[in-house]
Amino acid sequence: MVKVAILGFGTVGSGVYEIIKTNTTGLKRKSGSDIEIKYILDIREFDDHPEKHLFTKNYDDILNDEEVKVVIEVMGGLHPAYEFSKAALSAGKHVVTSNKELVATYGTELLNIAKEKGVNYLFEASVAGGIPILRPINQCLAANDIEKVYGILNGTTNFILTKMFKEGADFADALSEAQALGYAERNPEADVEGHDARRKIAILASLASGIFVDYNDVPTEGITKITKNDVAFAAKMNSVIKLVGYAELTGGTVYARVAPMVIPCAHQMSDVSDVFNAVVIHGNFVDDLMFYGRGAGKLPTASAVVADVVDAVKHIERRIRLMWKMPEGNIMVDPTKVPTQYMVRTTNKALVESFAGASVIGELDGEFAFVTCEMTETELFAKLGENDSFIRLLPKA
Ligand code: HSE
C-alpha cells in the first residue's frame, strides 16, 4: 500500500481523484501496490464530498505524515506550490505535478533536491496534457540526439484558431467557449499571449537538450493580433495558422521561439484542431515523430499525472534519471539573426517591390498579402511600415 496526498482539488485534482478511485485494480497491477489517497489539501470546503474526511487545509498534516510517500501537486501557480513541493522533496517524498509554471521556473532546483534525496520529481502532465511526451524524450528516444522539437502546445489557442478558421468565429466568443469548457488558464492572457506555450517549449527544450532553457529567453508572440484577413490569406495559400512552440537544438545551442505560424495543409500538424495538441520530435536516428492527443482538460491531464504516480510508486525506493543541468554561458541563438519566411499583410501594395523574390497571395478588403523569401527579422523590420503586419511560416524540415 502506498499512501498519497493531492494538493489542490480543482479541475486536475478532482480528475486525479476520479482516476485513482475508478481504475484501482489496473493501477495496482501496473504499479505493484494499492494506491490510497490519504489527504486532499484545499482551502475550500467540500462538505458534500463522499470522502470529506480526506480534506485538510493544513499542509503540515501531509508533510509530517511519514505514511505519505507521494505528493501530487496540482494546485497551479508558483506559490505556495513551490514551497510545498520543495518541502515534500526535502522530506524524502516523491512529487508529481502538472504545474508547468513551477517546472519551468524552479525545475532545476527541485530536480536537484529530488536527486539529493533519492526521490522522484515527475511532471509529464506539465506539457501537452494527456500526451505522453516527456517520458518518450527521456526514455524511448534515448538513442537519439533530439535536433528539433516543436508543436501546438496550447489547447485554448488552438481551439480559438480552429473556430476562426472553420467557423469564421470571433476571437472573444471562441475564448469564452474555451474558458467555459475548462481549457483556458485562470488568466487567459497566459494562453492567448503565448506564455503557457513558452513555458512548455522551455521544458521540452530543457529535457531534450539536457540543458536548462529559461522560458524568459524564448521570444514569444500570441494570437491576439490575428485578423480574419490573416485567416483568409493563409487559406488562399492552402495553409492554416497555429500557435507554435519551436526549438532547434544543435551543437550545444538552442534556437527557440513561440509565435503564430503559417503551416501548409500538407503538414500533419495543420489537421490538429480544437483543444488537441501535437508535438513533433526530430531525432538524428529516428527522424520525425508526431505525438498527438488532448493537450488540456480534466481527465486527459489527470491521466498523465496518475501515470507519473504509478511510476513513482514503481520506483518508490529508487530514482528515475530525469535531469537537466544549468548552462555554462549563453546557449541561446540570437533569434533576430535566424532567417525564415514571412506572410506579410499590408495596405501598401507597392511594399512587395522591396522584397526580391516575394510571391503574391492576393488582395482582400483593401489589404494585400505576399510571402517573402527567407530573411532575418532585422532585415524584415527594416522594410515594414507601422501598419504592416507579418506572420512567420513554419520553418521547413
Ligand atoms: N491552458 C492550457 C491549454 C491548459 O489551453 O493548453 C493545459 O496546459
Q: Is residue 342 in some structural domain?
A: yes
Note whether 156 and 109 are same-domain residues: no
Give yes or no: residues 75 and 192 share one domain. no
User: Could you tell me if 155 and 61 lie in one domain?
Assistant: no
For residue 289, tell me if it sits in a domain.
yes
Examine the domain organization and report whether 161 and 265 are in the same domain. yes
Residues 234 and 256 placed together within one structural domain of the fold: yes
Give the residue, by CA position, lying nearest to ligand 1 atom 8.
Answer: 296
Give domain status of residue 319, yes or no: no
Neighbours of 330 (CB within 10 A): 10
Give all strands of the β-sheet with 121-122 in edge-to-edge order.
55-56, 35-41, 2-7, 68-73, 94-97, 121-122
C-alpha–C-alpha distance, residues 97 and 87, integer Å: 14
For residues 147 and 120, membership in a common domain is answered with no
pLDDT at 181: 83
> How many structural domains comprise the chain?
3
The single residue of 200, 242, 325, 349 carrying the catalytic annotation is 200
Give the pLDDT of the chain (397 residues) as one tens digit per residue: 999 999 999 999 999 999 999 999 999 999 999 999 999 999 999 999 999 999 999 999 999 999 999 999 999 999 999 999 999 999 999 999 999 999 999 999 999 999 999 999 999 999 999 999 999 999 999 999 999 999 999 999 999 999 999 998 888 888 888 888 877 776 889 999 999 999 999 999 999 999 999 999 999 999 999 999 999 999 999 999 999 999 999 989 999 999 999 999 999 999 999 999 999 999 999 999 999 999 988 999 999 999 999 999 999 999 999 999 999 999 999 999 999 999 999 999 999 999 999 999 999 999 999 999 999 999 999 999 999 999 999 998 8
| 323 within some domain | no
Is the same domain home to 20 and 122?
Answer: yes
- Domain of residue 107, CATH code: 3.40.50.720
pLDDT of 123 reads 98
321 occurs within a structural domain? no
C-alpha angle with apex 31: 69 to 321, nearest 5 degrees?
Answer: 70
Query: What pLDDT was estimated at residue 19?
Result: 98
Centre of ligand 1 from the C-alpha of residue 103, in Å: 15
pLDDT the model gives residue 378: 96
Residue 359: inside a domain: yes
Q: How many residues does the chain have?
A: 397
Output the 3-class SS for the chain: CEEEEEECCCHHHHHHHHHHHHCHHHHHHHHCCCEEEEEEECCCCCCCCCCHHHEECCHHHHHCCCCEEEEEECCCCCCCHHHHHHHHHHCCCEEEECCHHHHHHHHHHHHHHHHHHCCCEECHHHCCCCCCCHHHHHHHCCCCCEEEEEEECCHHHHHHHHHHHHHCCCHHHHHHHHHHCCCCCCCCHHHHCCHHHHHHHHHHHHHHHCECCCHHHCCECCCCCCCHHHHHHHHHCCEEEEEEEEEEEECCEEEEEEEEEEEECCCHHHHCCCCEEEEEEEECCCEEEEEEEECCCHHHHHHHHHHHHHHHHHCCCCCCCCCCECCCCCCECCHHHCCECEEEEECCHHHHHHCCCCEEEEEECCEEEEECCCECHHHHHHHCCCCCEEEEECCCC
CA 171 to ligand 1 centroid distance, Å: 17
CA 126 to mean position of chain CA atoms: 6
Predicted confidence at residue 172, as pLDDT, reads: 84
Same-domain check for residues 218 and 262:
yes
- Let me know whether 154 and 289 are in one domain: yes
Which triple of cell numbers denotes residue 201? 517549449
Ligand 1 pocket by C-beta < 6 Å: which residues? 129, 154-156, 183-185, 191, 196, 295-296
What is the residue with the minimal CA distance to atom 4 of ligand 1? 296
Cα four-point dihedral sign 255, 261, 267, 269: positive
Q: Which of 314, 349, 380 marks a domain boundary?
A: 314
200 is known as an active-site residue: yes
Asked whether residue 368 is assigned to any structural domain, the reply reads: yes
The residue range of the domain holding 261 is 134-294+329-335
* Gap from CA of 65 to ligand 1 centroid (Å): 33
Same domain, yes or no, for 162 and 85?
no
Indicate the residue type of 296: A
> Is the residue at 352 inside a domain?
yes
| Domain identity same for 263 and 376 | no
Same domain membership, residue 140 and residue 280 = yes
Predicted pLDDT at 397 = 81
Asked whether the beta carbons of 225 and 171 are under 8 A apart, the reply is no
CATH, residue 153: 3.30.360.10
